[in-house]
Amino acid sequence: MAQDASLYQRSRPLTASELGVIPWLKVLLPDERERAVGDLKITDAKAGECICRTGRPVTYWFGLVDGLLKMSTDNADGQTMTFTGIPPGGWFGEGTALKRETYRYNIQALRKSMVAGLHVDTFHWLLDHSIGFNRFVMKQLNERLGQFIAAREIDRMGNPNIRVARSLAALFNPVLYPGLGTVLRITQQELAYLVGLSRQRVNEALTILAAEGAIAVEYGGLRVLNLQALRTGIF
């Protein structure tokens, strides 16, 4: 949107069904909700398109309505480190929005995605006026901290099966991604991009996880059968 002129030019108000899947709207009082809904925009991001770029100033707080995003950064050597994937229902960048600073990471669409945005000024207005919104953002920040610590641990793991398991568990976080349920629509290639392994190695890991009863591989996605096993790596 504001990060890319074409994204902003394609934006529009949300429909009633799209508003219905935004979790934090439910905690707002009527006047707070009216202001938020009046400001919310949604846009379609094409596969490979960036929603946020390192060094760009924050202008919106973003959430994913449909699709799949990747949060990553590039080091001095040009190597990319992926922090996490963002499935539908996830809102991200609240820390950057709070500080009104530039982004320290990239957010890229792995497939065609519908991305909603709340202007940073309205984000701060809600922080100033809504107790419910403050609690939602606090929970997000607390959970995000744990997520990034886990992401660093995953990045150092030598066992690819546990790496895939822990990465999948992060995508099924009920606080950051409410409403996702137990099924995630994702391809093995998309998961490979998020985990940092080859598609073939991810396929091997998924076969093992399925044999252990932690997941079920379904057409076009994955069903989690034992989230605790994925989180701990104990099957």
Domain ranges for the chain: 5-151, 158-232
- Residue 101 pLDDT > 90: yes
Per-residue pLDDT reduced to its tens digit, 136-187: 999 999 888 877 776 666 666 668 898 899 889 989 988 899 878 889 999 9
Helices and strands, number each (H, E), in the chain: 10, 11
Would you identify the CATH topology of the domain 5-151?
A: Jelly Rolls (2.60.120)
The sign of the torsion formed by the CA atoms of 37, 43, 47, 50 equals negative
Per-residue pLDDT reduced to its tens digit, 18-66: 999 999 999 999 999 999 999 999 999 999 999 999 999 999 999 999 9
- Residue 2 pLDDT > 60: no
The amino acid at 9? Q
Structure confidence at residue 153 (pLDDT): 67
Average pLDDT, the chain: 90
Percentage of the residues of the chain whose pLDDT score is greater than 70: 92
Q: How is domain 158-232 classified at the architecture level of CATH?
A: Orthogonal Bundle (1.10)
- Residue 3 pLDDT > 60: no
